[in-house]
Amino acid sequence: MTVIPAENRLQQQPITETLEKNYMPYAMSVIVSRAIPEIDGFKPSHRKLLYTMYRMGLLGGARTKSANVVGQTMKLNPHGDQAIYETMVRLTRGNGALLHPYVDSKGNFGRVYSRDMQYAAARYTEVRLDKLCEEIFAGLDKNSVDFIDNYDSTTKEPLLLPAAFPSLLVNSNQGIAVGMASNICSFNLTEVCKAAVAYIRDPGCDLLAIMPAPDFSTGAELIYNRAEMEQIYRTGRGSIRLRATWRFDKKNNLVEIVEIPYTTTAEAIIDDITGLVKQGKIREINDVRDETDLSGLKIALELKRSTDPEALMQKLFRFTSLQSSFPCNFNILVNGTPRVLGVRALLGEWLAWRRVCVRREIVYDLEKKQDRLHLLRGLEKILLDIDKAVRIIRRTEKESDVIPNLMAGFGIDAIQAELVAEIRLRQLNRQYILQRTADIQTLSDEIADLQNMLANRERVDDQICAGLERIAAKYGQKRLTKLVQEKEIESFEPDQLIEDFNLRLFLTEHGYIKKLALTSLRSAGELKTKEEDKIVQEIEGKNKSDVLFFSDCGNVYKLKCYDIKDHKPSDLGEYTPNLLEMDEGERIVFIHGTEDYAGQILIGFGNGKFARIPLNAYETKTNRRKLVKAYSTASPVVRIFFLEADDDFVAVSNIHKVLVFSSAKVPAKATRSSQGIQVLLSKKGSTMISCRRLSESNIADDKYYRTRKIPAVGTYLKEETLQDRQLGLDSI
């Protein structure tokens, strides 16, 4: 039997301990060393790539194959050639992802606005650093930043790059770490530099007045809302709405989309539009074509005749990615710690870091000048007695004693003596030495100036501002993304996509509702219903009208006509309890369609009372589907009518008493729950069993049933007052 050693056996371990030992180091590595940009505006992968190109002499030099750069970068970045090349692609001018690219490229690098346009392989494309990188690397050779070992300690790389402008704001940067993410939009270089200068002069300045909004490499339009922008500038979080720019070719009846939001692609937009056309939600488009070429992006929409292009684009902005949002999350690393900063705080952190870089450059220059001055002081002493220097060297027996003897003879140190000893014989003349020592005063003045600058923060800030102003003048460009005020944007309602047409609604006794377009009704035969079912009400309206469903429980349900599916004459219709989600046993007794809620509702109750309620009492600001206590339930409802104007009605009781009255005698009540006024009086416990319009009744002699005042008991029915005596009470 084989015995497994104890150290090789599976052992139980608390999950918290496992996470701490194994997962947390990975998570921190992703956050700190991969996904989140730092104050210089770069992720480690960007920094390693650009620094490699800088070391290869590609700043101002000729282009080289991308594969060459990728291979060299692997000395600093061990993540593989494909990952490095993808990083390079996004930084290139050819890809267009950055407002100010760092890599000047030649060849096919795809396009940021295209999902399907693939970039060429690294062996086919060529790259070099863009001129802007002069400002990224300026001061790198003057000890402006710290250097660290690479992953295998075979070479050094900069911890940060001494960017002379807030590159973090100038180019967009996205990253997803473990448990956090970063999404930084780009801003116009000229505006960023001016805002940085203004912030240095006055930290409380109005940044929005100088740098009003982000600027994207794909252009498009930014829907400007100052309150939203203030939130982003203050907190570093928020959302920016972008929408495409377009033009109308009237001659060819084409809409040409020429700029799209940064967050989408041409293919995604075409897919969205095609989907809407297939679903029947957009009927104005005959064809969609991607006409993107070397001159830039273009999506052509071929329109049907008489189409309003402005109205169509409003629909497309609402339902496609022609209008989309850029979610801002200004999460950056500051001294190795992730922090979400607003624009003002971010400029403050950049300024503090940039001051350190500039001071280190000043210290570097100061030390170099002090070293040079120190050497010149030694030459100055030699000037006093050149012959003595020659004599010391000639009389020295060993070469190793030359430096000590010169030090002793002139009172100079080893470095100064080394310089004297290295002077060639032909240079041992007063002219040479005088020329070399002529810069002593100039150097002394420069050293004093540098020391003063180190001690004076305002002078350091002046130097930073001068650099920002120079960069803005040299590399600045016009804003690509146009600002559109939110109040100038036309609002779009979803029902604009819905076709409006004339229709007729039918309500059956068993509670089915059927919707038929008038065009289909003209050619329709008999309308189908269930056995023993019949149509009890029909109304005409439009597809965008509201429909009110009055139930026998005092509730009113509201729907848009287009929420009821279209039917054929042979269809039974939709069952209202299911359509309206009604209570068990509840049934619909009356329906009415309206667009403006004009007119009134007349409700007759079993106790002989009638209530007259304005229809606008059922109009609500919110789209509530159910209004409870929509009318009184003190007595069962007998009949409901819609009144456009006053009309005559016939009320009938269960003891054959009949009363004809005008609705003008029933006063309107503002409250929906009004019980109304008594119209038909009860006699010996009688109740009203029916009511209808006089014009729809079978009564020929209505004067016989009228009274001067209401309420009234009514008059017994006489057959001789009916037009058709065979119909009886049901016809009244």
Three-state secondary structure of 287-302:
EEEECCECCECCEEEE
Element containing residue 688 per DSSP (H, E): strand 688-693
Which tokens hold the place of 57?
């002499």
Verify whether residue 364 is a known catalytic residue: no
Rounded CA-CA distance 305/311 in Å is: 14
Antiparallel, parallel or unpaired: β 221-224 and 482-485? parallel
Residue type, 553: C
Which tokens hold the place of 214?
């982000």
Residue type, 517: A
List the beta bridge partners of residue 150.
none
From the list 23, 26, 54, 124, the catalytic residue is 124
Rounded CA-CA distance 280/539 in Å is: 27
The candidate with the shortest Cα–Cα distance to 610, out of 591, 637, 590, 586, is 637
Q: In residues, how long is the chain?
A: 732
Is there a contact between 618 and 556 (Cβ–Cβ < 8 Å)?
Answer: yes
Which tokens hold the place of 714?
């009514």
**CA dihedral sign of residues 627, 633, 639, 644:** negative
Which tokens hold the place of 18?
């496992």
List all residues 6 or more positions away from 502 whose beta carbon is below 8 Å from its beta carbon: 517, 518, 540, 541, 542
Rounded CA-CA distance 123/114 in Å is: 22
Which tokens hold the place of 259?
């700029």
The candidate with the shortest Cα–Cα distance to 136, out of 223, 53, 242, is 53
Rounded CA-CA distance 562/544 in Å is: 6
Helix (H, G, I), strand (E, B) or coil at 354: helix
Helices (H), 586-654: none
Helices (H), 489-641: 518-522, 576-580
Which tokens hold the place of 169?
């704001």
Residue 604 has φ and ψ, to the nearest 5°, of -105, 135
Is there a contact between 69 and 58 (Cβ–Cβ < 8 Å)?
Answer: yes
Residue type, 206: D
Rounded CA-CA distance 694/719 in Å is: 16
Helix (H, G, I), strand (E, B) or coil at 349: helix
The candidate with the shortest Cα–Cα distance to 196, out of 225, 168, 216, is 168
List all residues 6 or more positions away from 370 whose beta carbon is below 8 Å from its beta carbon: 447
DSSP 565-600: PP--TTS--EEHHHHHTPPTT--EEEEEEESS--SE
**Sheet holding 556-560: strands in order across?**
588-594, 546-551, 556-560, 626-627
Rounded CA-CA distance 41/167 in Å is: 5
Rounded CA-CA distance 623/616 in Å is: 14
**Sheet holding 512-517: strands in order across?**
535-542, 502-508, 512-517, 574-575
Catalytic positions are 124
